[in-house]
Structure 1
Amino acid sequence: MPNLRQIAEMLHADAEDFPEGGEIMGVASIEGALPSDAVFASDATALERATISAAGCILARLADAFLTEDPRVIPVKDPRFAFSVLAQKLSPAPQGHLHTTAVLGTNVSLGENVSIGAGTVIGDNVTIGDNTTIDARVVVYAGVEIGARVLIQSGAVVGSMGFGYACSASGEYIRFPQQGRLVIEDDVEIGANSTIDRGALEETRIGCGSKLDNLVHIGHNCILGKNVIIAAQTGISGSSVVEDGAILGGQVGIGEHATVGDHVILGGGAGVLSGKKLRGPNQIFWGRPAQPLKQYLRDLAKLRKL
């Protein structure tokens, strides 16, 4: 396990200024830290609490580090992010495991160190990349392509048929072909009981580094860019696009053929009408239907006056 100086090297701090210290074996909260733990201080108040804790390593903001001469303090640009990086580095290397109750179809391709949990079903012709973990009771439909270092939590269903129908003149509905594929790129995380539909004729794609919370639904033909964040109970209708770096709050609803631009933020409960395009970058929208934040707050203030 690394000592204080080695951690500084990992996090690209000036390692020559740090004593070796003891081994750091894990991460913890400030209140629960042991001498073998690292903690982070997001502000000066937290740093003061950290310095009287038992922690063996303290990650603090560059602007706060001068407030103390405690040799355990490592100055970093973003303590919370550095803490997360360190936690991953201290985690044991993944060990592949295939539970005896998991069911694999034919022509399934598994990379190195893949773990598949109890009761999970993997369909035919599925590809799973290195160091991917699929928890218990997950269903992966046929033909799904899953990248490396993906995490799919319990109860998720990926690659199911989308909700698409053709209607006759007499009002009868028949299913429109749902024969496309689903591609989940590297470093994606999918929360418990989330569902992602395969494409109808082409593909649904979840971009590299995107993170989906529990109970999220992604409809057929949707394209999510890189590093998209989606909170719980959000639903995205078919053929919509969410571009790189967008953040969707909880219970967001997006109609079909809509576009959420790059690095757009949608506040919790926001609704995006079908075909609507919310352009970025770095714009914030809120309300039903979603409006620019300033407009939404102005309308809300007017409503209160009525």
Structure 2
Amino acid sequence: MAAGVSAQASVHPTAVLGKEVHVGPFAVVAEGAVVGDRVTLYPGAYVGKGAEVGEDSVLHPRVTLYEGGRIGKRVLLHAGCVIGSDGFGFAPTPQGYRKIPQVGIVEIGDDVEIGANTTVDRAALGVTRIGPGTKLDNLIQVGHNVEIGRDTVIAALVGIAGSARIGNRVMIGGQAGVAGHLEVGDGVMLGAKSGVAVSLSAKEHRAWSGVPAMPHRTWLKMVTLLPRLPELFRRVTRLEGGKPADGEE
């Protein structure tokens, strides 16, 4: 991509652009933003007020980096990513739900890749953080104040609720969910469609699966037994001298 700023782009006079930056048509670099050397902003990308983008990073079309967000070096954000939108924070009142201001930021470390249409919410206070080398697939939701460690990989459609902590070198399969304020420790492998309702540690078991998440071998035994349950129920009923309930034959 050739360096230069499109005549159809909008770059605020106070924004700082590094060397050999490409700013495509209809991209916006807002007041006080800092864009490092050799960054590529594809058409329609938005870098908000006071945000920072590290050198050699790429923001694909329609990526939105909200105010104050910080992106490290060599970060790749695919189309439609939203970094720094408000966290889901509301307080119940007699008049209905009142919005809790979300005044923190998002920090993304070096060498992170985030897939299309993934959203990372800003912290209510402090920082939502994604560590260096971590890779996120498409359509992932990362809640406010979540912290994800380094070199973690997360597949599509995962939801991580607010203030959860995901360790280093964690692997999370597609459509898994992690409840808020829990911890998934370093090195944990979480199977697809798992539901994390308590904190997990690789010191107990490395691989976890199921809802609620349990040791993977336990889950395998359970799913093996499930198809046999109707027949086992009939056999137990007969052994006890009873008769299977209606519809169980």
What is the TM-score normalised by the length of structure 1?
A: 0.67
- The amino acid across from 1:221 in the alignment is N
Q: Secondary structure at the match of 1:159?
A: strand
How do residues 125-144 of structure 1 correspond to structure 2 at under 5 angstroms? 125-144=50-69
| Deviations 1:220-263 (CA, angstroms, capped at 9, x unpaired) | 00000001100001110000010000000011111111111111
- The amino acid across from 1:284 in the alignment is A
> How far apart are residue 171 of structure 1 and its match?
6.1
Structure 1: distance between partners of 2:225 and 2:137 = 34
Residue 304 of structure 1 corresponds to 227
Picking from 170, 181, 184, the partner of 1:257 is 181
> How far apart are residue 139 of structure 1 and its match?
0.8
Moved more, 280-289 or 120-129: 280-289
Q: Does 1:279 align with 2:201?
A: yes
Q: Secondary structure at the match of 1:204?
A: strand
Residue 43 of structure 1 corresponds to none
Residue 213 of structure 2 corresponds to 290
Q: Secondary structure at the match of 2:202?
A: coil
Q: Does 1:179 align with 2:103?
A: yes
Structure 2: distance between partners of 1:171 and 1:153 = 40
Q: Does 1:241 align with 2:165?
A: yes
> How far apart are residue 305 of structure 1 and its match?
2.2
Q: Secondary structure at the match of 2:220?
A: helix
Structure 1: distance between partners of 2:62 and 2:228 = 52
| Deviations 1:201-220 (CA, angstroms, capped at 9, x unpaired) | 11100000000001111000
> How far apart are residue 166 of structure 1 and its match?
0.8
RMSD: 1.2
Q: Answer yes or no: is the 8 Å Cα contact 2:21–2:36 preserved in 1.
A: no
Q: Secondary structure at the match of 1:278?
A: coil
Structure 2: distance between partners of 1:147 and 1:159 = 14
Residue 116 of structure 1 corresponds to 41
Structure 2: distance between partners of 1:288 and 1:135 = 36
Residue 212 of structure 1 corresponds to 136
Residue 146 of structure 1 corresponds to 71
Summarize the Cα distance change of 1:296–1:117 in structure 2 as closer, same or farther, 3 Å threshold. same
Residue 123 of structure 2 corresponds to 199
Structure 2: distance between partners of 1:209 and 1:171 = 45
Q: Which has the higher contact order (CA 8 A, sep 6+)?
A: 2
> How far apart are residue 179 of structure 1 and its match?
0.4
How do residues 21-36 of structure 1 correspond to structure 2 at under 5 angstroms? none
> How far apart are residue 97 of structure 1 and its match?
1.2
| Deviations 1:115-174 (CA, angstroms, capped at 9, x unpaired) | 001011111000111100001111110000000000000011000000011112x26210
Summarize the Cα distance change of 1:112–1:285 in structure 2 as closer, same or farther, 3 Å threshold. same
Q: Secondary structure at the match of 1:263?
A: coil
Structure 1: distance between partners of 2:67 and 2:221 = 49
Between the aligned residues of both structures, percent identity stands at 41
Structure 2: distance between partners of 1:113 and 1:193 = 24
Q: Does 1:97 align with 2:19?
A: no
- The amino acid across from 2:200 in the alignment is L
> How far apart are residue 113 of structure 1 and its match?
0.3
- The amino acid across from 2:202 in the alignment is G
More helix by share: 1
Structure 2: distance between partners of 1:223 and 1:280 = 18
- The amino acid across from 2:41 in the alignment is I
Structure 2: distance between partners of 1:300 and 1:277 = 23
